[in-house]
Chain A
Amino acid sequence: MGNMLGLCHVSKSFGGLVAVDNVSFTIEEGEIVGLLGPNGSGKTTVLNMISGSFRPTSGEIWYKATNISRMRAHDIVQVGIARTFQLVRVLGAFTCAQNVAAALAFHPGGAFGRAAVERIERLLDTVGLVLKADALASDLTYIDLKRLELARALALDPSVLLLDEWLAGLSGTELDDGIALIRSLRTQGLTILLVEHVMRAIRALCDRCIVLSSAVKIAEGATGDVLSDPRVVTSYLGSHDA
């Protein structure tokens, strides 16, 4: 057990607007941690900084013993951090198999061409898309798009997975399947940070939660404690009906 990911006094401002203000936390190996907060509280900005979409204005981000605060997105992938996007982004003109192949091709643990075929099938199987391998991504349903995004993230062979509202929009059995899938990823040794609004999923999955409100961290701790923290309840009231 050791720290997989650590944020140390991280801030980000866009022009005059402070999106993330002096946030620190650590995530240990094998944990599933929820990053919560009302809309606009800075959750996605935190994910964007970890995954290298943009750099923190100040503070440091560490992956194991590597300072990744100044690294660019493609280098962070090589280090072992993969993400999904809040607004699903797949390559619409590519088939499902090609989308996964794309993610396998550009990191040292990956594969290209014939060597990749078997791994592509396995990854699509993991997320339940194996029957749609040759379907164009632009023809997929919303749920399948989310699956495809996850398969693509997994193809990057990450040890840390960042999920940005991956369960949003799922309900009933789909949600149960999704939760089971994420849980199975942890047993494979992945460390997961998820931004999520679906309370059922948070309670079912997260060991710990970190709560942001208006760019500031207002609570951190075991999921049950955090969700009953009066400050957290207040920050959610009126802004999000969870």
Chain B
Amino acid sequence: MRSVFVGAIRRGAPAVIIAAVAVPPILIDGYALSVAINVAQYGVMATAWAMFSGPTRYVSLATVAFYGVGVYTAALLGGSMPWAIVLLAAALSGATLAILAGMLTLRLSGVYFVIFTFSLSELLRQIVTWYEVNVHRSVGRYVFLDVAPAHIYSQLLGLLALLLALAWLLRRSRMGLALRIIGADLVVANHIGIDTAKVRVLLFAFSAIFMSTAGAIIAPRWTYVDPAIAFSQTISFEVLIMALFGGVQLLFGPLIGVASLCLVFEYLSIQFPDQLIAFLGLIYLLIVYVMPSGIVPACSAVGQVLALREKAVA
């Protein structure tokens, strides 16, 4: 019976999560809405992250680089341009940055790619800081954009829905097959005619577009941004661990990870703000040592064991 239960969770979870995430914004109050916005924002980024890093096994820490670029695009252009143009500009800047970074990292092996993406985020933070201090003459800036939280939430949901739909299509497409082959064996991929370099760069850009757009959408939520907030490395680390926690092999895996960890982080950041980072570390260790493929496969494995035991008892 329990295995049936686990199976039901596995099949039903996506539906439950979508329902939970998509609760009409009008129905929920300010605090719940801010949590929901957070879940939606991390949902976009973790799904986009898993889209690239899942099949290619290139662990990217550039998430916050793209996100921050989006935030700053909105902060700079938001006052003077129509919102649609702002979002488009954010998406384009993210894609451009990703294509450049992607082309520079083609020859790098796994570990160096991680360091490169981390450095890229840090470099952007330093450059923006320097620019703001020396040219703008103030390290932070105020973002006065009148967008209601409920509106931000629906935009993020729209983005998430678009991303999931595209990710679903991608999985069934030729490109999706190419990605699985690249993840399995790069040499084979090259020798059956896949332009692995192109696929990798395109996919990196594709996932970056969603991260940057999420950053731009969320920007009006903060009235004040500075580089330390917009380019906080913690965001990259959180997105990474949420995606892995849920499991990157499944379309809805990252979302499950986001839904569970966002709430946990939310609770901890209020109750134990000083221990949050140590807790993040523990989750990293938990994932590596206890459930390397994420919580959903781990649950179904436990389910199988339980089912076997029940059979043995019967």
Q: Which chain A residues border B196 with CB–CB below 8 Å?
A: 74
Contact yes or no, B193 A106, CB < 8 A: yes
Contact yes or no, A106 B178, CB < 8 A: yes
Contact yes or no, A74 B188, CB < 8 A: no
**Interface segment out of the listed A12-20, A84-92, A202-210, A225-233:** A84-92
With beta carbons under 8 angstroms apart, the residue of A52, A89, A112, A156 that contacts B185 is A89
Question: Which residue of chain B lies nearest to A108 when distances are taken between CB atoms in the complex?
Answer: B193
With A105-B174, A105-B177 as given contacts, are A91 and B184 in contact (CB-CB < 8 Å)?
Answer: yes
Tell me the A53-107 residues at the B interface (CB within 8 Å).
Answer: 53, 72-75, 77-78, 82-83, 85, 89-94, 101-103, 105-107
What separation, in Å, do the CA atoms of A218 and B266 have in the docked complex? Answer: 73
Contact yes or no, B188 A89, CB < 8 A: yes
A197 at the interface (CB under 8 A from B): no
What separation, in Å, do the CA atoms of A103 and B191 have in the docked complex? Answer: 9
Instruction: Give B181-213 as 1s and 0s: 1 = Cβ < 8 Å from A's Cβ atoms.
Output: 100110110111111100000000000000000
Question: Which residue of chain A lies nearest to B192 when distances are taken between CB atoms in the complex?
Answer: A103
A51 at the interface (CB under 8 A from B): yes
Q: Which chain B residues border A112 with CB–CB below 8 Å?
A: 174, 177
Instruction: Give A99-126 as 1s and 0s: 1 = Cβ < 8 Å from B's Cβ atoms.
Output: 0011101110010100000000000000
Q: List 24 A-B contacts (CB under 8 A).
A: A51-B191, A53-B190, A72-B190, A74-B190, A74-B194, A74-B196, A77-B192, A77-B193, A78-B193, A85-B187, A89-B185, A89-B187, A91-B188, A92-B184, A101-B177, A102-B177, A102-B181, A102-B192, A103-B193, A105-B174, A105-B192, A106-B174, A107-B192, A110-B193
Q: Which chain B residues border A75 with CB–CB below 8 Å?
A: 195
Contact yes or no, B193 A107, CB < 8 A: yes
With beta carbons under 8 angstroms apart, the residue of B174, B177, B192 that contacts A152 is B192
Contact yes or no, A93 B190, CB < 8 A: no
What separation, in Å, do the CA atoms of A225 and B184 have in the docked complex? Answer: 44
Q: Which chain A residues border B181 with CB–CB below 8 Å?
A: 91, 102
Contact yes or no, B193 A74, CB < 8 A: yes
Q: Which chain A residues border B190 with CB–CB below 8 Å?
A: 52-53, 72-74
**Known A89-B187, A106-B193; 17 more pairs at CB < 8 Å:** A52-B190, A73-B190, A73-B191, A74-B190, A74-B195, A77-B191, A78-B193, A89-B188, A91-B184, A94-B184, A103-B192, A105-B192, A106-B192, A107-B192, A110-B193, A112-B174, A156-B193
What separation, in Å, do the CA atoms of A92 and B188 have in the docked complex? Answer: 11
Which B residues form the contact surface with A (CB < 8 A)?
174, 177-178, 181, 184-185, 187-188, 190-196
What separation, in Å, do the CA atoms of A49 and B191 have in the docked complex? Answer: 12
Which A residues form the contact surface with B (CB < 8 A)?
51-53, 72-75, 77-78, 82-83, 85, 89-94, 101-103, 105-107, 110, 112, 152, 155-156
Question: Which residue of chain B lies nearest to A102 when distances are taken between CB atoms in the complex?
Answer: B181
Q: Which chain B residues border A53 with CB–CB below 8 Å?
A: 187, 190-191
What separation, in Å, do the CA atoms of A33 and B41 have in the docked complex? Answer: 60
Q: Which chain B residues border A107 with CB–CB below 8 Å?
A: 192-193
How far apart are B67's CB and chain A's nearest CB, in angstroms?
A: 32
How far apart are A52's CB and chain B's nearest CB, in angstroms?
A: 8
What separation, in Å, do the CA atoms of A90 and B191 have in the docked complex? Answer: 11
Ranked 3 nearest A-B pairs via Cβ: A77-B193, A106-B193, A73-B190
Contact yes or no, A83 B193, CB < 8 A: no
What separation, in Å, do the CA atoms of A203 and B104 have in the docked complex? Answer: 49
Q: Of B177, B185, B187, B191, which is in contact with the most chain A CB atoms at under 10 Å from its CB?
A: B191
What separation, in Å, do the CA atoms of A102 and B185 have in the docked complex? Answer: 12
What separation, in Å, do the CA atoms of A97 and B95 have in the docked complex? Answer: 36
Question: Which residue of chain B lies nearest to A83 when distances are taken between CB atoms in the complex?
Answer: B191
Q: Which chain B residues border A72 with CB–CB below 8 Å?
A: 190, 195
How far apart are A90's CB and chain B's nearest CB, in angstroms?
A: 7
What separation, in Å, do the CA atoms of A85 and B177 have in the docked complex? Answer: 22
How far apart are A158's CB and chain B's nearest CB, in angstroms?
A: 11
What separation, in Å, do the CA atoms of A156 and B191 have in the docked complex? Answer: 9
What separation, in Å, do the CA atoms of A91 and B193 have in the docked complex? Answer: 15
Q: Which chain A residues border B193 with CB–CB below 8 Å?
A: 74, 77-78, 103, 106-107, 110, 156
How far apart are A124's CB and chain B's nearest CB, in angstroms?
A: 16
Q: Of B177, B192, B195, which is in contact with the most chain A CB atoms at under 10 Å from its CB?
A: B192
How far apart are B175's CB and chain A's nearest CB, in angstroms?
A: 10
How far apart are B191's CB and chain A's nearest CB, in angstroms?
A: 5
Q: Which chain B residues border A106 with CB–CB below 8 Å?
A: 174, 178, 192-194
Question: Which residue of chain B lies nearest to A107 when distances are taken between CB atoms in the complex?
Answer: B193
What separation, in Å, do the CA atoms of A106 and B177 have in the docked complex? Answer: 10
Q: Which chain A residues border B188 with CB–CB below 8 Å?
A: 89-91, 102
How far apart are A238's CB and chain B's nearest CB, in angstroms?
A: 33
How far apart are A154's CB and chain B's nearest CB, in angstroms?
A: 12
Question: Which residue of chain B lies nearest to A84 when distances are taken between CB atoms in the complex?
Answer: B191
Question: Which residue of chain B lies nearest to A51 when distances are taken between CB atoms in the complex?
Answer: B191
Q: Of B185, B193, B194, which is in contact with the most chain A CB atoms at under 10 Å from its CB?
A: B193
Q: Which chain A residues border B184 with CB–CB below 8 Å?
A: 91-94
Question: Which residue of chain A lies nearest to B184 when distances are taken between CB atoms in the complex?
Answer: A91
How far apart are B263's CB and chain A's nearest CB, in angstroms?
A: 34
